Amino acid sequence: MNKIICSLLFVIFSFSLSLSAQSVYSLDSCRSMALENNKSLKMAEQEIEAANYNKKSAFANYLPSLGVSGTYLHNTKDIALVSESQLAGIGNSLSSMGNTIGSLVGSISPTLGGALAPALQGLNEIPDALREATTLDIHNMFIGTVTITQPIYMGGKIVAYNNITKYASEIAVQMKESEVKDILYKIDQAYWQVVSLVAKKEMAESYVELLQNLSRDVNDMFEVGVATKSDELTVAVKLNESQIALTKVTDGLTLSKMLLAQLCGLPIESQFSLEDESKQITLSGKHNEIDIETVFKMRPEIRSLELATGIYKNKEKVALAEMLPHAAFIANYAVTNPHVFDGFQKKFSGMCSFGVNLSIPVWNWGKDYYKVKAAKAEFKRANFKLDEAKEMVELQVNQASFKVKEANKTLMMTVANLDKAQENLNNAKEGYKEGVLTTQNVLEAQTAWLKAESEKIDAEIGVKLTEVYLNKVTGNKN
């Protein structure tokens, strides 16, 4: 017996330790965990990083660019500056001239003619020497260039691109801000849903306990013949229904905690409790007048659309830049092998060149003009979309404000109904004890009390959720 008692005490002690080891999270801690672990938020941060890199890339267009290129060419033929027919004509002319000179000199002085004969024969070798001198070997060519280009005027395209990337970077920040607010809204919804179900579970447990006590009383009264079998069965049915309702609430609470754990980045099987489970739900009850212009500034979606209109305006400038002259300073150094800077030589040599490139579009069948018109149409569409979004936001704010007021009125009515249901239940219990009321009357009073208590809990959470939604649509994080 002592061993059994010790074992039971050990089990109870271990269970108490496990309960005390459960984490207790506040709404702020749930929000922090969600923002830290949410993958959509991490993707939004990468979008910001990419947008910042694009902005730096666009700024680089203001600066000079340096390019290096190299080329190797293998050609199957050489360059001949003098054709074979020309060389043949030169050879015939030189041979005829040599024969004429030799005959003339030989007729005057045979000795002098004999002395000039070797020189005159050398005239026949001139075509071969000329062929070799005028044939350029380009079988293997190497070309290298280094070019520096500095834009001078590009029709405003570079400025417009920089503005576009700046707006895109700001849009990425606003999209992250929108993602943050969506996450906080989901966390608040899940948090207060769990708090609501905890309260409903406690209510269901107290109702089951109430019916169990009533069932024992009815059983005792049946034993002494004061109550009927029908009373006993009626209470038993109600007790079974309350136990089923308790099971449903318990399962719903478990699933809601799993959802909250998933949003916070915790394992879905985590055991935890919430700070507001053991507290009386506090309601602000104060709602300041809403300035719609301030709301527009606080809403990331509106700010994103305003930035988008700036992007489309600069796209119009980019399209217009294609119709304007472009000017750029160019400095170039080119090296080749073979080169012709000092005759034709098979070695590397190069030269520098400087200049300004001017490009003026003249006619392209209206292609660029139509691009400008299309960009203007997109800019107007973006403005219409912004106006439409502002109208929708204003409608959202008005609806949310109305729902908050409606939820507060509903809460006031449920509190009054609960007071009446509690008073009715107390009277029913007293009447039952005095024998002037039946079991059915008590059960009806208990059912009315259960409904009133449940409606009060729903109304309290409803006020909280409508306030959360109002904060979301007005752009507040609180």
Q: Spell out a b/e string for 406-425, using b for 16 or more CB atoms within 10 Å of the CB, else e.
A: ebbebbeebeebbeebeebb
Query: Which helix (H) or strand (E) segment is 136 a member of?
Result: strand 135-136
Listed in sequence order, the residues at least 6 apart from 197 whose beta carbon sits closer than 8 Å to its beta carbon are 249, 252, 253, 256
Instruction: Single out the residue of 214, 205, 203 nearest to residue 429, CA to CA.
Output: 214
Give dist(CA 469, CA 457) in Å, integer.
18
- Residue 59 region by backbone torsions, left for phi larger than 0, else alpha for psi between -120 and 50, else beta: alpha
| 353 beta partners | 332
Give dist(CA 447, CA 453) in Å, integer.
10
* Helix 84-108, helix 110-122: angle, nearest 10: 170
Q: What is the pLDDT of residue 34?
A: 92
Token code pair at residue 31? 């929000």
Q: What is the pLDDT of residue 99?
A: 59
Apex 393 CA angle, 301 and 472, nearest 5: 70
Q: What is the pLDDT of residue 254?
A: 94
Give dist(CA 241, CA 450) in Å, integer.
13
Q: What is the pLDDT of residue 94?
A: 62
Give dist(CA 226, CA 214) in Å, integer.
14
Contact in structure between 316 and 381 (CB atoms under 8 Å): no
Q: What is the pLDDT of residue 159?
A: 94
Give dist(CA 294, CA 316) in Å, integer.
30
Give dist(CA 461, CA 286) in Å, integer.
16
Q: What is the pLDDT of residue 11?
A: 43
3-state secondary structure of 140: strand
Token code pair at residue 347? 């070695």
Q: What is the pLDDT of residue 105?
A: 57
Q: How many other CB atoms sit within 10 Å of the CB of residue 252?
A: 16
DSSP string, 288-313: PPP-HHHHHHH-HHHHHHHHHHHHHH
DSSP string, 215-237: HHHHHHHHHTTSS-HHHHHHHHH
Give dist(CA 418, CA 415) in Å, integer.
5
Residue that is written with structure tokens 């834009």 in the block? 151
Q: What is the pLDDT of residue 112?
A: 58
Give dist(CA 145, CA 197) in Å, integer.
76
The widest CA-to-CA distance across the chain, in whole angstroms, is 177
Q: Spell out, as residue ranges, where the chain has pLDDT lower than 70.
A: 1-22, 84, 87-88, 90-129, 132-133, 226, 281-288, 477-478
| 358 beta partners | 327
Q: What is the pLDDT of residue 8?
A: 47
Provide the terminal-to-terminal Cα distance of the chain, rounded to the nearest Å. Answer: 58
Give dist(CA 224, CA 232) in Å, integer.
13
3-state secondary structure of 148: strand
Classify strands 79-80 and 349-359 as parallel, antiparallel or unpaired.
unpaired
Give dist(CA 83, CA 92) in Å, integer.
14
Give dist(CA 417, CA 458) in Å, integer.
13
Classify strands 65-74 and 79-80 as parallel, antiparallel or unpaired.
unpaired
Apex 274 CA angle, 271 and 275, nearest 5: 140
How far does Cα 111 stand from its chain's mean position? 104
